[in-house]
Amino acid sequence: MFRGIFHNSVDEKGRTSIPARFREQIRESHETPLVLTLGFDQCLFLYPMDAWKKIEEKLSSLDTLNAEVRQFQRTILKATDEVEMDQQGRIVISPVLRKEAGIGKAVVVVGMLHRIEIWDKEKYENYHAQTTQSLELLGQKLSDKGIQSLTL
Partner DNA sequence: CAAGTTTTCCCCACTTTTCCCCACTAGTTG
Partner DNA sequence: CAACTAGTGGGGAAAAGTGGGGAAAACTTG
Positions in the binding site for a copy of itself (CB under 8 A): 1, 3-5, 21, 35, 38-41, 45, 55-56, 58-64, 66-82, 94, 96, 110-114, 117, 127-128, 131, 133, 135-136, 138-139, 141-142, 145, 147-148, 150-152
Distance CA 64, CA 48 (A): 26
- Give the sign of the dihedral formed by CA 39, CA 41, CA 42, CA 43: negative
For residue 142, the minimal CB distance to DNA (Å) is 32
Would strands 106-113 and 2-9 be described as parallel, antiparallel, or unpaired?
antiparallel
Among 3, 9, 27, 78, contact with DNA (rule: CB under 7 A): 9
Identify which range of 42-50, 60-68, 85-93, 131-139 contacts DNA by CB under 7 A. 85-93
For residue 128, the tally of other CB atoms under 10 A from its CB is 11
